[in-house]
Amino acid sequence: MRSIHSYYLSLNVLAILHTILFYRIFGNIKPREVDLLDITYSAIDDPEVEKVVDEKVEQFVRNLENHGNQKGQISVTFHEKRTTRNAWFSRSEEDICWEQWAVTITTVICHSERDKLRIRKDMDRQLSTCLFNIIRYVNDKKDHIPPITSLDANPFPYQVNYSLYIYFYNLYIY
């Protein structure tokens, strides 16, 4: 049995991704508060954002569990679209990443109820620290954000991707 069972694993990853998106989507957003364990975090109240995040987190957790992995990474990248001239009259649009967040998730195996309680406390502490670090970073690091030149609801498209760490073991027989 994993220490963060898929329900809590999903909730933790959702909290992290929603916090990142809340502070980096610069359109006209409707905020909402979400309570998780002993933590309250801000998220965007937008069905489209929720759908994208929910689907990616569900895929990530399912793949993590189905492949027996104990470690995986989920990332959020923000892009700006720049128009460049190729020749005299031709133009092309280029997607340029201006920020990337990579969150590494490691699960451990619980052997007892006591382990579960200890890990639950660690999980609360780690999530709280993670969310605090995200907020501190987004408030401190703003110089790299490109100017908003679009009237789009979200001027900077984002992508959510994930990868799993695959461990290979060498077996030598003599």
Whether the CB-CB separation of 9 and 138 falls below 8 Å is answered with no
Q: Which of 28-32, 43-47, 167-171 has the lowest mean pLDDT?
A: 167-171
Is the CB of residue 77 less than 8 Å from the CB of residue 99? Answer: yes
Alpha helices in 1-145 (DSSP H): 6-24, 47-66, 113-140
* Interval 18-42: pLDDT, tens: 999 999 998 788 999 999 878 899 9
Is 29:46 a contact under the CB 8 Å cutoff?
A: yes
Q: Which domain holds residue 27?
A: 4-83+92-143+151-164
What per-residue confidence (pLDDT) applies to 172? 40
> What is the band of 117 on the pLDDT scale with cuts at 50, 70, 90?
confident
Residue 147 has pLDDT above 50, yes or no: yes
CA distances to 83, 86, 94, 118, 155 from 90, in Å: 10, 6, 13, 61, 23
Residues 6+ apart with CB under 8 A from 13: 57, 60, 61, 74, 103, 105
Q: Is residue 173 part of a domain?
A: no
pLDDT exceeds cutoff 80 at 139: yes
Position 18 scores a pLDDT of 96
Would 174 be classed as within a structural domain?
no
What is the structure's pLDDT at 8?
A: 81
User: Looking at this protein, which amino acid is placed at residue 43?
Assistant: A
Share of the chain above pLDDT 70, in %: 89
Domain membership of residue 139 (yes or no) is: yes
Between 105 and 173, residue with greater pLDDT = 105
For residue 43, what is the domain's CATH number? 3.30.900.10
- Is residue 56 situated within a structural domain? yes
How many distinct structural domains can be found in the chain? 1
